[in-house]
């Protein structure tokens, strides 16, 4: 870029910023402000600016202090006198690049003295390949490292061959054979390879490869190749249409198509591409976008605007101006920065000059102008610019391009710009992040025509929170939010969130202590929200363009540059394409002509409603947890909750063991998994695998296990205290552990984490935890508080009318209860009670052990019987257990009574109940599972 400096820095030329009578300053017509006036009445000179337009030299300038004047290289005698933006006072850099500074290390591996070639594990000595795929040759390359570096930075190169001093860059690698050259690939990084594994999908042989890195390069140049497998013994390289799913194979190495990391130059290797000036333009030449935080955000918005060719960003006013065409260089306001949309210099070749006859040669002072002229010329395919002679040579695209290295001061590059810039021409959601890939292991993969279609696929998945789209393979990868934490540069990918904008609020910022702050690596507000979803403890976020702030809570304040929001938008955890039919003992209310949002609001207004099902025809069912046990896939239905839980951990789960695993069942997302854990009194934690949809319900915490698709957490984000018994201690049994606790809630939390704990007592600051113990009894004790592992709302009874349990009484005398609901509550609070019988006219409640179920018998209409938790809410429909049956019990009314039969049988761990046949089957394990009708329900021994 051109070197510039403010007038105050060139006082030796007789230019001054001091006010003088009769002098005037000129400002860009498009950028006049009420506080800064200016006029132009000075004679023109033939000074050429960076963009090749005439500029007016004004010997004496008077400006308002809010404006800044700049003078370009043509005004001075030497270009070397002017520093580039941000480098005032530095000496001119080697290479005479007309104001374009080479970034640190720009010449590494590209010439100069080098050690003798050393073979690498990723290259092949004495090799050759099919040369029909060569698209550029570079003469004068002395080492394979330099050749590899050129391949790494040059767009489209998958491999290169160094023969003598000629480096041949290839778009595809085929026909690898013996020869006299050195075959190199983009990168030697193999950190993403799976050793001893072969991809499972059907493959296509690409021939032999010397090593896995070369096989990966062959995959990169093969249409349809998404992943590769390489056999160490046979050297065969196989292309696969998927990189997901593999099998153990000791002789194989497998991996993705794209390199594990990039071997590219920095995007600013040619120096900053901005000037502290403004561009003029005719009326309608620019679009003004206010409240833009950073210059990079302004450039991204310009790249998203197909009409935008240049942009000006003012860091003081935070206004971004999109320019449709080139205008004159003009004085700018203080804080102006102007640049071309093509600002990525990572693929530009330093000290390289294209050979042959250019069809057009221009003389331009700045490299950006050479790039621009090639960009707007339909014939131009590549260019070379000489900073010494200022010659800009434009070439067409016929045939392979020959070039020479070691041409000091010459830069060369492609017409369309480098990879990061060209991604903005692709169809994608407005909030997508170009040139980045989220995660490594998706929850699922699908095909899609573009990134927008990929996001739509994400929205159809109940668990998808983010996506990554492979442009080259047209593969759509669906992820949980944690994948955004594993973001990495990949120019074949576009990534983004489930939805754009969503529930964010512009002009608002959360204040308070941040859990975490990230910088410019976070590109959008939606990406900031994804990171909040992936971070434990984060409830709200604020995105300020150059920073993402994650907070547990905070007050909002006005900030026009900020965009803020909550962790989850309403409805993102709904179960799509499923209904939950009403159960016999459940609550359901049908409402007509309700949209999805209206149905959710109706549920919120109904005290009995915990979930709902909305239909495309406008039917809305508001229901309780009893209905949610049954679940049936129907595309026209959506089942959901009032809100999404925010207490999840992403990227980590709990290790399931025989000691803590209650049971595992399939669920559509982590919220459903949590809901099902909440329905089990004995469930203290859940661990969900979003890829397999396996929901493991655990009796307590286990060892942490890391995994990209794992989500885990407690059964509830807030703890209930409805089961606490003041003035009661559980005595008679032996505590499994004791610890200090400041409150009954803290004591219950210790019980919830312990896999063996079922009850607790807090007395004098000492928290005692108890397992199931036949000797445990509630005893009056002043100052003590006792309770269950978790407090369950006893909303439904699932009672048996005209049935009594004739044995198993816990006490010699019955307790008093007004109704069956009170009898259930009394049973729930007693550590030994499992079932009960209620005598209606006498209001007598008989608490019983599970042994009482062995004498289940018909009784008069004055008796009712049931269980301590009411209904067996932890059952799941459409699942049947198979294998050897322990026992079959016929004639039972519903699944809750079937669960009693399982608990009575000491060997029984799981049961299956068929509502149609009234058949109850008992099993010792859940090792064999069968798909069944929705009238079949299964569950564990106890909830």
Per-residue H/E/C for 111-148: CCCCCCCCCCCCCEEEEECCHHHEEEEEECCCCHHHHH
Q: What is the 3-state secondary structure (H, E, C) of 235-287?
A: CEEEEECCCCCEEEEEEEEEEECCCCCCCCCCCCCCCCCCECCEECCCCCCEE
Q: What is the DSSP string of 475-486?
A: EEEEE-GGGGGG
CA distance 251 to 232: 5
CA distance 408 to 350: 8
Residue 283 banded pLDDT, cuts 50, 70, 90? low
Residue 803: strand, helix, or coil: strand
> Which letter does DSSP use for residue 593 in this model?
S
What confidence tens digit (pLDDT) does each residue in 337-356 have?
888 887 888 899 999 999 98
Beta carbons within 8 Å of 116's beta carbon, 6+ residues apart: none
Count the helix, strand and coil residues of the chain and give each as a percent rounded to the nearest 5: 15, 35, 50
CA distance 575 to 733: 44
Q: What is the model's pLDDT at position 583?
A: 62
Residue 36 banded pLDDT, cuts 50, 70, 90? very low
Mean residue pLDDT across the chain: 84
CA distance 61 to 63: 6
Q: What is the model's pLDDT at position 112?
A: 40
Q: What is the model's pLDDT at position 307?
A: 85
CA angle 172, 347, 189 (to 5 degrees): 60
Q: Which range is least confidently modeled, 101-115, 272-286, 687-701?
A: 101-115
**pLDDT at 428 > cutoff 70:** yes
Segment 220-241 shows an average pLDDT of 96
**pLDDT at 439 > cutoff 60:** yes
Helix or strand holding residue 363 (H, E): strand 360-363
Segment 893-902 shows an average pLDDT of 95
Buried b / exposed e across 260-274, counting CB within 10 Å, b at 16+? bbbbbbebbbbbbbb
What confidence tens digit (pLDDT) does each residue in 808-835 have?
999 999 999 999 999 999 999 999 999 9
**pLDDT at 64 > cutoff 50:** no
Q: What CATH homologous superfamily does 725-788 map to?
A: Hepatocyte Growth Factor (3.50.4.10)
pTM, entire model: 0.81
Task: Give the tokens for residue 918.
Answer: 């009234």
Segment 589-611 shows an average pLDDT of 94
CATH topology of domain 121-265: Hepatocyte Growth Factor (3.50.4)
Count of CB atoms within 10 A of residue 234's CB?
9
CA distance 687 to 654: 6
Phi, psi at 863, each rounded to 5°: -120, 145
What confidence tens digit (pLDDT) does each residue in 237-263 have?
999 999 999 999 999 999 999 999 988
CA distance 331 to 71: 9
The CATH number of the structural domain formed by 426-497 is 3.50.4.10
Q: What CATH homologous superfamily does 349-422 map to?
A: Hepatocyte Growth Factor (3.50.4.10)
Pairing of strands 134-139, 401-404: parallel
Q: Is the dihedral of CA 495, 498, 500, 501 positive or negative?
A: negative
Segment 181-205 shows an average pLDDT of 95
Q: What is the DSSP string of 858-873?
A: E--TTEEEEETTSS-T
Most confidently modeled range among 282-286, 371-375, 471-475:
471-475
CA angle 299, 302, 305 (to 5 degrees): 155
CB distance 553 to 569 below 8 Å:
no
Residues β-bridged to residue 665: 695
**pLDDT at 141 > cutoff 60:** yes
Q: What is the model's pLDDT at position 284?
A: 62
CA distance 273 to 769: 66
Phi, psi at 84, each rounded to 5°: -75, 165
Chain region(s) in the chain for CATH 3.50.4.10: 121-265, 278-340, 349-422, 426-497, 505-566, 649-713, 725-788
Burial class (CB in 10 A: 0-12, 13-18, 19+), 515: middle
> Tokens 């994400």 map to which residue?
458
The CATH number of the structural domain formed by 649-713 is 3.50.4.10
Segment 152-168 shows an average pLDDT of 95
> Which letter does DSSP use for residue 34 in this model?
T
CA distance 264 to 491: 11
CB distance 548 to 528 below 8 Å:
yes
Segment 423-443 shows an average pLDDT of 93
CA angle 719, 724, 725 (to 5 degrees): 175
* Cα-based distances in Å from 776 to 744, 746, 752, 760: 19, 22, 19, 11
**pLDDT at 142 > cutoff 70:** yes
CB distance 421 to 303 below 8 Å:
yes
Helix or strand holding residue 302 (H, E): helix 295-304
Q: So what's the architecture of 505-566 in CATH?
A: 3-Layer(bba) Sandwich (3.50)
Count the residues in the chain: 943
Q: Which of 189, 201, 184, 211 is nearest to 109 (CA)?
A: 184
Residues β-bridged to residue 695: 665, 688
- For a pLDDT cut of 90, what percent of the chain falls above it? 65
What confidence tens digit (pLDDT) does each residue in 678-730 have?
989 999 999 999 999 999 999 999 999 999 999 999 999 988 888 999 999 99
**pLDDT at 784 > cutoff 90:** yes
Helices and strands in the chain, H and E counts? 12, 69
CA distance 333 to 841: 90
> Which letter does DSSP use for residue 701 in this model?
-
**pLDDT at 224 > cutoff 80:** yes
- For a pLDDT cut of 70, what percent of the chain falls above it? 85
**pLDDT at 2 > cutoff 50:** no
CATH topology of domain 278-340: Hepatocyte Growth Factor (3.50.4)
> Which letter does DSSP use for residue 351 in this model?
T
Segment 60-68 shows an average pLDDT of 26
Residue 329 banded pLDDT, cuts 50, 70, 90? low
CB distance 66 to 334 below 8 Å:
yes
Beta carbons within 8 Å of 831's beta carbon, 6+ residues apart: 730, 733, 758, 759, 770, 772, 773, 776, 777, 778
Residue 855: strand, helix, or coil: helix
Segment 276-301 shows an average pLDDT of 78
Residue 794 banded pLDDT, cuts 50, 70, 90? confident
CB distance 268 to 348 below 8 Å:
no
Beta carbons within 8 Å of 11's beta carbon, 6+ residues apart: none
Beta carbons within 8 Å of 21's beta carbon, 6+ residues apart: none
Beta carbons within 8 Å of 550's beta carbon, 6+ residues apart: 514, 515, 516, 517, 528, 531, 532, 535, 538, 541
């Amino acid at each position: 870029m051109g070197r510039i400096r403010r007038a105050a820095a060139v006082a030796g030329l007789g230019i001054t910023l001091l006010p003088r009578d009769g002098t005037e300053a000129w400002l860009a017509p498009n950028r006049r402000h009420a506080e800064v006036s200016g006029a132009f009445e000075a004679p023109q000179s033939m000074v050429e600016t960076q963009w090749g337009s005439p500029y007016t030299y004004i010997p004496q300038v008077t400006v308002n202090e809010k404006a800044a004047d700049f003078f370009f290289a043509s005004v001075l005698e030497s270009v070397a006198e002017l520093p580039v933006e941000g480098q005032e006072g530095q000496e001119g850099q080697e290479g005479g690049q007309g104001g374009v500074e080479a970034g640190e290390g720009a010449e590494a591996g590209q010439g100069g003295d080098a050690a003798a070639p050393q073979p690498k594990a990723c290259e092949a000595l004495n090799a050759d390949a099919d040369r029909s795929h060569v698209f550029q040759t570079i003469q004068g390359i002395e080492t394979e490292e330099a050749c590899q570096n050129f391949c790494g930075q040059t767009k489209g190169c998958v491999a290169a061959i160094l023969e003598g001093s000629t480096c041949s860059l290839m778009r595809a690698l085929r026909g690898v054979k013996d020869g006299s050259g050195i075959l190199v690939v983009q990168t030697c990084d193999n950190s993403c390879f799976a050793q001893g594994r072969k991809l499972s999908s059907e493959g296509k042989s690409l021939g032999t490869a010397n090593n896995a890195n070369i096989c990966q390069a062959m995959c990169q140049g093969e249409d349809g190749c998404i992943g590769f497998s390489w056999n160490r013994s046979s050297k065969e390289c196989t292309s696969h249409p998927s990189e997901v799913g593999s099998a153990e194979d000791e002789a194989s190495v497998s991996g993705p198509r794209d390199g594990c990391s990039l071997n590219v130059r920095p995007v600013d290797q040619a120096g900053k591409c901005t000037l502290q000036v403004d561009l003029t333009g005719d009326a309608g030449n620019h679009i003004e976008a206010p409240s833009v935080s950073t210059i990079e955000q302004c450039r991204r918005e310009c790249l998203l605007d197909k009409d935008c060719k240049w942009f000006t960003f003012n860091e003081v006013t935070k206004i971004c101006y999109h320019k449709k065409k080139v205008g004159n260089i003009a004085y700018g306001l203080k804080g102006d920065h102007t640049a071309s949309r093509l600002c990525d210099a990572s693929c530009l070749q330093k000290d390289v000059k294209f050979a042959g006859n250019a069809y057009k040669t221009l003389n331009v002072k700045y490299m950006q102008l050479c790039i621009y002229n090639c960009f707007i010329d339909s014939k131009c395919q590549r260019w070379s610019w000489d900073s010494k002679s200022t010659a800009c040579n434009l070439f067409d695209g016929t045939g392979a391009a020959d070039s020479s290295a070691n041409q000091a001061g010459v830069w060369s590059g492609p017409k369309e710009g480098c990879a990061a810039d060209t991604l903005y021409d692709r169809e994608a959601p407005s909030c997508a992040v170009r040139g980045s890939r989220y995660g490594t292991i998706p929850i699922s993969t699908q095909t899609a025509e573009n990134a927008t279609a990929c996001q739509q696929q994400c929205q159809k998945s109940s668990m998808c929170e983010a996506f990554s789209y492979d442009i080259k393979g047209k593969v759509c990868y669906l992820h949980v939010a944690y994948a955004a934490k594993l973001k990495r540069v990949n120019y074949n990918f576009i990534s983004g969130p489930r939805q754009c904008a969503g529930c964010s609020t512009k002009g608002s910022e959360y204040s308070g202590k941040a859990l975490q702050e990230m910088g410019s690596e976070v590109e959008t507000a939606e990406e900031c929200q994804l990171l909040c979803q992936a971070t434990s403890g984060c409830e709200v976020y604020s995105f300020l363009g150059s920073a993402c702030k994650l907070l547990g809570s905070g007050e909002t304040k006005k900030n026009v540059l900020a965009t803020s929001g909550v962790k989850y938008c309403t409805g993102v955890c709904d179960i799509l394409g499923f209904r939950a039919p009403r159960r016999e003992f459940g609550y359901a209310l049908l409402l007509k002509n309700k949209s999805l949002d209206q149905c959710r609001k109706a549920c919120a207004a109904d005290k009995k409603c915990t979930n709902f099902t909305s239909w495309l025809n406008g039917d809305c069912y508001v229901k309780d947890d009893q209905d949610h046990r049954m679940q049936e896939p129907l595309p026209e239905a959506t089942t959901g909750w009032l809100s999404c839980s925010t207490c999840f951990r992403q990227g980590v789960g709990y290790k399931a063991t025989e000691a803590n695993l209650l049971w595992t069942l399939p669920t559509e997302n982590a919220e459903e998994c949590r809901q099902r854990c909440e329905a089990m009194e004995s469930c203290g934690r859940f661990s969900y695998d979003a890829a397999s949809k396996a929901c493991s319900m655990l009796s307590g915490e286990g060892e942490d296990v890391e995994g990209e698709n794992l989500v885990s957490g407690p059964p509830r984000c807030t703890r209930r205290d409805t089961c606490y018994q003041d003035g009661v201690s559980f005595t008679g049994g032996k505590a499994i552990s004791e610890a200090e606790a400041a409150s009954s809630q803290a004591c219950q939390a210790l019980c919830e984490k312990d896999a063996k704990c079922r009850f607790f007592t807090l007395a004098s600051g000492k928290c005692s935890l108890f397992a199931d113990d036949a000797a445990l009894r509630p005893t009056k004790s002043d100052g003590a508080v006792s309770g269950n592992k978790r407090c369950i709302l006893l909303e439904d009874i699932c009672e048996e009318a005209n049935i009594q349990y004739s044995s198993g009484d816990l006490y010699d005398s019955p307790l008093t209860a007004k109704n069956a609901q009170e009898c259930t509550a009394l049973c729930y609070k007693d550590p030994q009670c499992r079932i009960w019988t209620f005598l209606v006219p006498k209001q007598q409640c008989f608490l019983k052990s599970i042994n009482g179920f062995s004498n289940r018998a018909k009784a008069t209409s004055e008796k009712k019987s049931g269980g301590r938790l009411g209904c067996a809410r932890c059952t799941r429909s459409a699942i049947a257990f198979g294998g050897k049956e322990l026992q079959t019990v016929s004639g039972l009314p519903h699944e809750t009574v079937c669960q009693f039969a399982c608990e009575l049988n000491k060997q029984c761990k799981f049961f299956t109940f068929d509502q149609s046949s009234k058949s109850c089957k008992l099993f010792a394990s859940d090792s064999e599972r069968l798909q069944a009708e929705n009238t079949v329900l299964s569950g564990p021994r106890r909830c």
